[in-house]
Structures are given as C-alpha cells and as structure tokens.
Amino acid sequence: AESGMVEIDEYGEDKLQARRQQLENWRNQRELKAQQQETLTDLAGFTGTEYDPRAGAATYMNALNAGAKEDESKWNVYKGEAKANAADGYAEGLTIGTDYAGNPEITDTIEMTCQFPKPSFYEIKVENDVISFEDFVVGFAAGDAGDFQITPTAGELNRRGGEPQILSVVFKPNAPGGTRDAWLVVQTEESKWTYHLTGTVM
C-alpha cells in the first residue's frame, strides 16, 4: 500500500481499504480511456479527419457515411416505389414466397368456379403475424392475373391478434372454358403471404 493510504482502527480494520480500491479503479479507467482515445484518433486519421473527443466514434463513422446512400432493399422486402404506387394499382416486382430451403411456400390455395360470363367471388382474410401495424401491398407474382381482380391493393394490417384484413377476389374470365392460375402476393416489410388462385370456367 502507498504511504499514507493505510489507517488501522482500534478493531484492526483498515479504514482506507475502500478508498484505495476507488483510486485503483479510477486509475484503471483513465488508462482504458487513454487507450480508447488513441484508437479513435488513429481511426479518424485513416479518414483524413481530426478526432473530436466530444463525438467519440462518431468522428470516424460520420466520415465513412458522408455521401452514402442507404440501400432500402437490405431491410425492406418490397421496393419503395412499389409501396408508393400501390394506391394506383397492383405492386410490381413481387415474388412467390419461399421457405428457408428456397422452396415455394403457398399460404393457401383458393379454387373458384364461374359460369361464363358471370364472375365469382371470394374473400381472403389476412392476419398480421407481428405486434405492430404494418403497411401492405398486393400484386401478382405469376399466372393469368388479368382474369382476377383484387381489392384493396394496399393498406394497413392491424397488429397481431387484431381484426384481419379482408381482400375481395373477383374471378372474371375474359373467355369461356378452361382453367386460370395466378399467384397472388400480399407483402409487408416483415411478412409475405402467397395465395394460389385457381379459376375454372364452366
């Protein structure tokens, strides 16, 4: 122990033990901070900027990010322009959902039948699977989309456990006879539902 840093009381206990520990901790913290500042100064030097101790690592990170353009596609499962145009019609560029192995993952298969030229109708209930409200878009990934009409084509899903979103499906074939197949996709930033629509014209 350093001189003057020991004081034994009448019970034989060192009354300054806690104080010595505090000083030791303070000294260790100062050494660690000095090392951190040295590292941050070096990092700032790599970017040609001067380290500002008030900003910490931000000095280095801001220099790296200067002029950078964020790529939405890394976190947004559908493109921003698809969402922006959703009110005008179906979202474009949507793909059939897949599982972790890359196999198609179909939420449900919906079979519809009509007597040409009369249409048939169906309702899809989409239930959100996350705890927050989510904007959604609707579009066709493949198939005879022209024979099916979906409304709405965009909106907001209630949070998980709330009322489901109803999508109205109209099967209105352009010609008599045959079977039409289309793959409908409902997509948010977090989730995707793919429906295989099969329409048979009697």
Q: Tokens 């793909």 sit at which residue?
A: 95
Q: 29 CB contacts (<8 Å, ≥6 apart)?
A: none
Could you give the CA distance from residue 202 to residue 198 in angstroms, rounded to a whole number? 13
For residues 175 and 87, the model is more confident at: 175
Which tokens hold the place of 122? Answer: 């169906």
State how beta strands 108-114 and 179-187 pair. unpaired
Could you give the CA distance from residue 191 to residue 78 in angstroms, rounded to a whole number? 10
- Whether 179 has a pLDDT exceeding 50, the answer reads yes
- Whether 56 has a pLDDT exceeding 60, the answer reads no
- Residue 130's pLDDT band (cuts 50, 70, 90): very high
Tens-digit pLDDT profile for residues 22-54: 888 888 888 887 777 777 777 666 666 665 666
Mean pLDDT, rounded, of the chain: 80
Tens-digit pLDDT profile for residues 151-168: 999 999 999 999 999 999
**Closest among 168, 141, 143 to 153, alpha carbons compared:** 168
One DSSP character per residue, 179-200 reads EEEEEEEEE-SS-EEEEEEEEE
Is the bond into 119 cis (omega within 30 degrees of 0)? no
What pTM did the predictor assign?
0.57
Report the percentage of the chain scoring pLDDT > 90: 47
- Residue 70's pLDDT band (cuts 50, 70, 90): low
pLDDT (0 to 100) of residue 171? 96
For residues 35 and 115, the model is more confident at: 115
